[in-house]
Amino acid sequence: MTSPKPKTIQTMKPATAAKKLGVPLSATPAEFQASVVSRDELNELQSTPPAWLADLRRNGPHTKQVIAAKLKVSIAGLLRGGITGPLTTAEIDALKAENPAWLERERSLYAEARKEALRPKQR
């Protein structure tokens, strides 16, 4: 008879963990960037974020996905508007206040695309 195998701990690279947390890896502390993150540690970070993670989520810099969601545009729309890197919350708020022509156009395109996606297909 064989004995049951011990449960292996799932781990991930810091870049994967940062992506799952919704923060850029370059903005995380050095010890986070240098370590391997287990699934349990990731769950702990998500449920009770430490001060550095809460601050990153609140003030940024933010990933393209978060920027696009805050501006209500697609990621492709960000690229068309010239936004290629991370932005802070203050920079996003300034963009919203300025409301450049490209942002207005991309918001309307995004809203139209979402409306089309929600509309039931007719046959």
90-113 tens-digit pLDDT:
999 999 999 999 999 999 999 998
pTM: 0.75
- Total of domains in the chain: 2
The pLDDT confidence band at residue 7, using thresholds 50, 70 and 90, is: confident
The answer to whether residue 44 sits within a structural domain is: yes
Q: Do 89 and 60 contact (CB within 8 A), yes or no? A: yes
Whole-angstrom Cα distance, residue 71 to residue 87? Answer: 11
Alpha-carbon distance 87 to 109, whole Å?
22
Phi-psi region of 108 (alpha: psi -120 to 50; beta: other; left: phi over 0): alpha
| The token pair that represents 36 in the structure block | 């391997």
Q: Which residues form the domain of 38?
A: 10-59
Q: Does 118 lie in the same domain as 65? A: yes
Domain boundary among 24, 44, 59: 59
- Reported as a single tens digit per residue, the pLDDT across 15-26 is 999 999 989 999
The answer to whether 20 touches 42, Cβ cutoff 8 Å, is yes
User: Does the residue 3 lie in any domain?
Assistant: no
